[in-house]
A and B are shown apart, each in its own frame.
Chain A
Amino acid sequence: MTGPSLMDSLFQRTLEDLIKGLRLHLVHESTFISKSLDEIRREVRSPDLDTKAAAVQKVTYLRSLHGVDDSFAAFPAVELAASPRFRHKQIAYLAASVSFHSATAVLLLLTNQLRKDLNSSNEFEVSLALQCLSVVCNLDLARDLTPEIFTLLSSSKQLIRKKAIATILRVFGEYPDAVRVCFKRLVENVESSDPQTVSAVVSVFCELASREPNSYLPLAPEFYRVLVDSRNNWVLIKVLKIFANLAPLEPRLAKRIIEPIGEHMRRTGAKSLMFECIRTIVTSLSDYDSAVRLAVAKVQEFLVDDDPNLKYLGLQALSIVVPKHSWAVVENKEFVIKSLSDTDPNIKLEALRLVMAMVSEDDLSEICRVLLNYALKSDPEFCNEILGSVLATCSRNVYEIIIDFDWYVSVLGEMTRIPHCQKGEEIESQLIDIGMRVKDVRPELVHVGRDLLIDPALLGNPFLHRVLSAAAWVSGEYVKFSKNPIELMEALLQPRTGLLPSSIRAVYIQSAFKVLTFCLHSYLFAKEAVASSSSCAYDLESGASDSIPEKGCPEGSNLATSEALASSEQNEDFNRSFLCQSVEDNCTENDGDTLVAPGPSSSSASLNKLQFTRGSIINLLDLIKTALGPLAGSHEVEVQERAWNVLGLIKLVEQEIQDTPMQNEGKFVMEELKASEIMKLMHDAFFGELGPVSKSAQERVPIPDGLMLKENLNDLETVCGDVQLPSTCSFSLGKPHFEESSGSLFDFQKKEELEPSSESTSMLAEHRKRHGLYYLPSEIKETTSSDYPPANESKLAISVSVSDDVDYLVKLTEQSLVPKKKSNQTKPRPIVVKLDERDGVRIAANKPESKNDLISGAVREVLLGNEGIPTSSQGKHFDKLSSKTRGKEKIAIVQPLGSTGLLANAGNSELANSSPRRSKHVSHGKEKKPRSPRNNAEGCEERSYRDKKKGDHRHVKNKARQSADGGVNVVAQTPVIPDFLL
């Protein structure tokens, strides 16, 4: 790169040339830009300011509109800002405001130039500096330039004053201590005669109050005056926004502002102001019926307007008001429902939200029916909005609105078949969630799941894979409710499952595993039952006792009982074994049927279960082997492993099932025993109850005595090395009995943690620490099926007939929205398992931003806390203020606490909270001291003195009022509002 020459500056391209060039080089734009950038890089180093200015201007243009990195031009821009020419300054400050950010290094170099320009006599230079500052301001700039801004806040030139006011918001944000200096002067501007100034200052307060309204309550009288007196719509809108934030904090204030707001509503022709009035009423004054009525009447005017913007906003206002005043929507229901088919997406969405806000348990099913029909005929985006809101509404508060779960489950199935449906994930989780929570719905769930699984079309739609995964899981888990497990198995193993992502295939295979287990188990044990029913009563009973706890087992199998059962069963098997031959004979007769064939003895009362013939079982095994055989070599570990699991099980049992008729009796008995036992164990493992577990379950496990969870355990590693045993001192107070402890740990898990001994606790703690695992009490036995991986996405279409139309829905909601007596429910609502109050509720911890905190702390100090400061200190110079008043403020902090009851009232906790903050401010103040400007303090001293006197005067009045009010105001933290307003 060569240095800038005279030629460069003579033949430099201007911005206009550059733009023309860009328009000519549309095709090779990027090469043109990089060529230009090379030129610019050279030009910005030119000593000639004109050349530099043109270069900076060009690079700013490229940065702003073509996304070019212009950091190299930062310093030249700063140089340019120092130029005496206005044009150069303009270019420089524009460049700075486009590309500088709070961490730009050269920003520091700009400080002096900004100060100079803020003090300039040319108002446009001042406004250039303000414009730049309002974008690039950082802590250093804010701190160093606060005095200048302070001066400008009372500039005699309106143009400057309003710009300074708008800038101050940014300054406060970066440097909360500026509040102490500037706040009073800012407040004084509320009373300005210039509407633009008032507008600017009210905007600033609107921003501040929206972040932390409490601190601004004491200013309510000033705002109230503006609300009553002003006729400027911009000002009124902002003031209304402030009151919307303040009114909820102070009921007396709300009462007071209703009248003027109503006045504005009757008077104004401006829709914007009207809408703001409506919004203020529906958000913050919804307790005042007459006001709400007026607002809703005005909303109706919006709704019938032709302008879609007004319609949209009207609906929005309705949706704000609906939780408290549902009549407002009922009055407009016809319009709302017609809006569902509006062309405007905004309007449709708002209408949908309103419709969903109106549903009750009585009309849920009808509304859902109609909405699904809308979903069928609308565009994909809105279709999914509808589905999403139906899903969200129905699942709200653990499905509190749903009474008929069978219906809901079938609706879920139906949603899946809507062509544009992309809500697979949500439907998936609801299907499983309902399955676990609502026991009564499981048969229907399995039925819906089966319908989904056997539908080959669904497999092609990646959006629905998650639903299929849920359907597969449900079918496997609750296969005992299936009417036809073999059909289910065929669906799970159909060749088109190859279209599924491997993670979901794994779920399919696992479900097939469960179905197989179920089939084999029923086959083997049904035979016994059959045998027993045909022979002796004793065996019948035992068969029944076998099947009931597992198949209908409500509480989840518990290891101890099943072991007991298993052992008793072994004894019985001996008794039964000699009968088995005849059973086999029985079954072979039915070999012809491949599908479910009710066995000859299925009438046997104890077993309402399906009967499998030997042939059907063998076919089933063959089917599985053919389908899963190839997968045993799959590259996907999940698929491969699960396939092997199934194949392994088949290998174990297949031989004997195939061979039984041909075997001699003795051998058969042996095999039979083995297979039954295997199947029994598998069955027990799979068909225990899988219930939902509360998120907070772990927290509710009582922490045993002597378990110190918060202890730092780092030293343990040195004590026990890598091997095992925890050192007793850090875990338990009891004596260590390590030989026993392994046994007690086992008990611990088995016995649902009744009395955890100190040893077991220590073992458990050790285990937890090692593996980062936390065991829950035995609610969950099985975790195999909980992994539902994400699906990919695309679309598919199924044609479904569309019948209903708007009128139907209008009529329907007309009926349903009229408050009516609860219709007699044909079905009682099934039990929905809820874990605790907190199920589904999220605690939103919203901590306010620390900066906001600081601002409001400072504001409060200015508005309330300053009373303690003796008047004499008020007229001091700034630089002295920083040292002297700081000290006095410190006293002031203590004073109100002890002396005046009103402050103790107003902010007990506030003071407590903020004292550390204040001490921080004090240190800030000390830092600031050396930088404090001396020259300007002279100028503003007089003015500030006057201001402060005035301010003081008011504050004395305030104080008097506040102490009068003190007794009424019981609520801590609510700053006191002067009486004359209320």
Chain B
Amino acid sequence: MIQGVVVMNDQGKPRLVKFYDYQPVERQQELIRSIYGVLCNRAENVSNFIRADSIFGPDTRLVYKTYATLYFVFIFDSSENELAMLDLMQVFVETLDKCFSNVCEVDIVFNFNKVHTILDEIVLGGQVLETSSSEVMKAVEEISKLEKASNSISLVPKSIPGWQTR
């Protein structure tokens, strides 16, 4: 199964963290740090797989790919196919791209919930659910419609521009 999905930037700042087994706060931070520690030492144009036994326990590996300033990392065990995981990552990135039209780091930073929604349509409980980005898009659009419908009931504006800099 897939044990986790992590997106972080090239400074090691996590942008999306999803583990399919509960991880205590400290452990999660530590995992992110050690993943970054491994990734930042990789040269360019080398293979995308890393044995992660020391980080996640026996027989785990991770596959990563760099898209602009972001590392996408999938952590998985021997019941997944390495190349298939690369494909899945491609599906995820494609979907993000469709969703935010030319996705960049800031989109992922500011759309915490939406990115989670997208990922949840692709992977559930560590199992691959959907591998077609257009199917995922369909579901995500349905969900956003629902969100909007439920939000429109609320009349009070929730944010006043400029407030946050105070």
Write the nearest CB–CB distance from A126 to chain B, whole angstroms.
Answer: 12
Q: In the complex the two chains form, what is the Cα distance from A122 to B116 in whole Å?
A: 19
A residues contacting B by CB (< 8 A) are 9-21, 23-24, 50, 54, 57, 60-61, 63-65, 67-69, 85-88, 90-91, 94, 100-102, 122, 124, 127, 130-131, 134-136, 159, 162-163, 165-167, 169-170, 196, 199-200, 203-204, 206-207, 210, 233-234, 237-238, 241, 271-272, 275-276, 308-309, 311-313, 343-347
Given contacts A67-B28, A94-B116, contact A88 B150 (CB under 8 A): yes
Is the CB–CB distance between A166 and B49 below 8 Å? no
Is the CB–CB distance between B125 and A86 below 8 Å? no
Is the CB–CB distance between A86 and B26 below 8 Å? no
Q: In the complex the two chains form, what is the Cα distance from A127 to B146 in whole Å?
A: 13
Chain B residue at smallest Cβ distance from A234: B131
Write the nearest CB–CB distance from B3 to chain A, whole angstroms.
Answer: 12
Q: Which of A15, A60, A134 contacts B124 (CB 8 A)?
A: A134
Report B99-127 CB contacts with A as 1/0, cut-off 8 Å: 00000000001101100110010001111
Q: Which of B13, B22, B78, B165 has its CB near the most chain A CB atoms (within 10 A)?
A: B22
Q: In the complex the two chains form, what is the Cα distance from A241 to B76 in whole Å?
A: 14
Q: Which residues of B contact A344 (CB under 8 A)?
A: 43, 46-47
Chain B residue at smallest Cβ distance from A48: B156
Q: In the complex the two chains form, what is the Cα distance from A312 to B16 in whole Å?
A: 28
Is the CB–CB distance between A241 and B79 below 8 Å? yes
Q: Which residues of B contact A11 (CB under 8 A)?
A: 160, 163
Interface residues of B in 63-97 (CB under 8 A from A): 78-79, 81-84, 86-87
Q: In the complex the two chains form, what is the Cα distance from A199 to B128 in whole Å?
A: 8
Report B33-56 CB contacts with A as 1/0, cut-off 8 Å: 000000000010111111000000
Contacts A18-B164, A85-B151, A238-B79 aside, 19 further interface pairs with beta carbons under 8 A come to A13-B159, A17-B164, A19-B112, A23-B109, A24-B164, A57-B112, A68-B25, A87-B146, A87-B147, A90-B113, A90-B117, A90-B147, A124-B143, A135-B125, A165-B127, A204-B127, A207-B79, A344-B46, A347-B47
Is the CB–CB distance between A101 and B22 below 8 Å? yes
Q: Which residues of A contact B154 (CB under 8 A)?
A: 50
Is the CB–CB distance between A309 and B83 below 8 Å? yes
Q: Which residues of A contact B13 (CB under 8 A)?
A: 65
Given contacts A50-B154, A203-B127, contact A272 B87 (CB under 8 A): yes
Is the CB–CB distance between B163 and A13 below 8 Å? yes
Q: In the complex the two chains form, what is the Cα distance from A343 to B43 in whole Å?
A: 9
Chain A residue at smallest Cβ distance from B26: A67
Q: Which residues of A contact B117 (CB under 8 A)?
A: 90
Q: Which of A50, A54, A233, A346 contacts B49 (CB 8 A)?
A: A346
Q: Which residues of A contact B158 (CB under 8 A)?
A: 12, 14, 50, 54
Q: In the complex the two chains form, what is the Cα distance from A136 to B86 in whole Å?
A: 27
Given contacts A210-B78, A308-B46, contact A86 B22 (CB under 8 A): no
Chain A residue at smallest Cβ distance from B14: A65
Is the CB–CB distance between A13 and B43 below 8 Å? no
Is the CB–CB distance between B48 and A309 below 8 Å? yes
Given contacts A272-B87, A309-B86, contact A63 B146 (CB under 8 A): no
Q: In the complex the two chains form, what is the Cα distance from A246 to B98 in whole Å?
A: 41
Q: Which residues of B contact A54 (CB under 8 A)?
A: 158
Is the CB–CB distance between B81 and A275 below 8 Å? yes
B residues contacting A by CB (< 8 A) are 1, 13-17, 20-22, 24-26, 28-29, 43, 45-50, 78-79, 81-84, 86-87, 109-110, 112-113, 116-117, 120, 124-131, 135, 139, 142-143, 146-147, 149-151, 153-154, 156, 158-160, 163-165
Chain B residue at smallest Cβ distance from A64: B17
Is the CB–CB distance between A308 and B146 below 8 Å? no
Q: Which of A24, A86, A130 has its CB near the most chain B CB atoms (within 10 A)?
A: A86
Is the CB–CB distance between A130 and B17 below 8 Å? no
Q: Which of B24, B143, B158 has its CB near the most chain A CB atoms (within 10 A)?
A: B158
Q: In the complex the two chains form, what is the Cα distance from A170 to B14 in whole Å?
A: 27
Is the CB–CB distance between B164 and A21 below 8 Å? yes
Q: In the complex the two chains form, what is the Cα distance from A207 to B20 in whole Å?
A: 14
Is the CB–CB distance between B20 and A135 below 8 Å? yes
Given contacts A135-B125, A207-B1, A271-B83, contact A14 B46 (CB under 8 A): no
Q: Which of A85, A88, A313, A343 contacts B46 (CB 8 A)?
A: A343
Write the nearest CB–CB distance from A59 to chain B, whole angstroms.
Answer: 12
Write the nearest CB–CB distance from B38 to chain A, whole angstroms.
Answer: 11
13 contacts between A and B (CB under 8 A): A13-B164, A50-B154, A60-B112, A67-B29, A90-B113, A124-B142, A131-B124, A134-B124, A159-B139, A206-B79, A207-B1, A234-B128, A343-B43
Q: In the complex the two chains form, what is the Cα distance from A18 to B112 in whole Å?
A: 12
Q: Which residues of B contact A91 (CB under 8 A)?
A: 113
Is the CB–CB distance between A200 and B127 below 8 Å? yes
Is the CB–CB distance between B109 and A136 below 8 Å? no
Is the CB–CB distance between A196 and B47 below 8 Å? no
Given contacts A17-B163, A347-B47, contact A169 B127 (CB under 8 A): yes
Q: In the complex the two chains form, what is the Cα distance from A94 to B143 in whole Å?
A: 14
Chain B residue at smallest Cβ distance from A83: B150
Write the nearest CB–CB distance from A69 to chain B, whole angstroms.
Answer: 6
9 smallest A-B Cβ distances: which pairs?
A134-B125, A272-B83, A101-B22, A166-B127, A85-B150, A308-B47, A67-B29, A344-B46, A17-B164
Q: In the complex the two chains form, what is the Cα distance from A312 to B87 in whole Å?
A: 17
Given contacts A67-B28, A135-B22, A272-B87, contact A309 B82 (CB under 8 A): yes
Q: In the complex the two chains form, what is the Cα distance from A803 to B47 in whole Å?
A: 29
Q: Which of B1, B112, B164 contacts A20 (CB 8 A)?
A: B164
Is the CB–CB distance between A10 and B156 below 8 Å? yes
Chain A residue at smallest Cβ distance from B17: A64
Is the CB–CB distance between B25 and A170 below 8 Å? no
Is the CB–CB distance between A167 and B124 below 8 Å? yes
Q: Which residues of A contact B1 (CB under 8 A)?
A: 169, 203, 207
Is the CB–CB distance between A100 and B48 below 8 Å? no
Q: In the complex the two chains form, what is the Cα distance from A88 to B131 in whole Å?
A: 28
Is the CB–CB distance between B81 and A276 below 8 Å? yes
Write the nearest CB–CB distance from A56 to chain B, whole angstroms.
Answer: 11
Q: In the complex the two chains form, what is the Cα distance from A162 to B125 in whole Å?
A: 12
Chain B residue at smallest Cβ distance from A93: B120
Q: Which of B47, B124, B150, B156 contacts A309 (CB 8 A)?
A: B47
Q: In the complex the two chains form, what is the Cα distance from A64 to B15 in whole Å?
A: 9
Q: Which of B17, B84, B153 contacts A234 (CB 8 A)?
A: B84
Q: In the complex the two chains form, what is the Cα distance from A437 to B76 in whole Å?
A: 44
Write the nearest CB–CB distance from B60 to chain A, whole angstroms.
Answer: 13
Is the CB–CB distance between B17 and A136 below 8 Å? no
Chain B residue at smallest Cβ distance from A101: B22
Is the CB–CB distance between A237 and B124 below 8 Å? no
Given contacts A90-B117, A207-B1, contact A312 B49 (CB under 8 A): yes
Q: In the complex the two chains form, what is the Cα distance from A169 to B160 in whole Å?
A: 45
Q: Which of B47, B124, B125, B151 contacts A87 (CB 8 A)?
A: B151
Q: Which residues of B contact A199 (CB under 8 A)?
A: 128, 131
Write the nearest CB–CB distance from B75 to chain A, whole angstroms.
Answer: 15
Chain B residue at smallest Cβ distance from A12: B158
Q: Which of B14, B16, B124 has its CB near the most chain A CB atoms (within 10 A)?
A: B124
Q: Which of A10, A124, A237 contacts B84 (CB 8 A)?
A: A237
Q: Which residues of A contact B83 (CB under 8 A)?
A: 271-272, 275, 309, 313
Is the CB–CB distance between A57 and B113 below 8 Å? yes
Is the CB–CB distance between A313 and B82 below 8 Å? yes
Q: In the complex the two chains form, what is the Cα distance from A312 to B61 in whole Å?
A: 14
Write the nearest CB–CB distance from A31 to chain B, whole angstroms.
Answer: 15
Q: Which residues of B contact A131 (CB under 8 A)?
A: 120, 124-125
Q: In the complex the two chains form, what is the Cα distance from A122 to B143 in whole Å?
A: 11
Q: Which residues of B contact A12 (CB under 8 A)?
A: 158
Is the CB–CB distance between B125 and A166 below 8 Å? yes
Q: In the complex the two chains form, what is the Cα distance from A10 to B104 in whole Å?
A: 32
Is the CB–CB distance between A61 and B112 below 8 Å? yes
Write the nearest CB–CB distance from B1 to chain A, whole angstroms.
Answer: 6
Chain A residue at smallest Cβ distance from B127: A166
Given contacts A20-B164, A50-B156, A170-B125, contact A100 B22 (CB under 8 A): yes
Chain B residue at smallest Cβ distance from A313: B82
Q: In the complex the two chains form, what is the Cα distance from A17 to B109 in whole Å?
A: 12
Is the CB–CB distance between B165 and A24 below 8 Å? yes
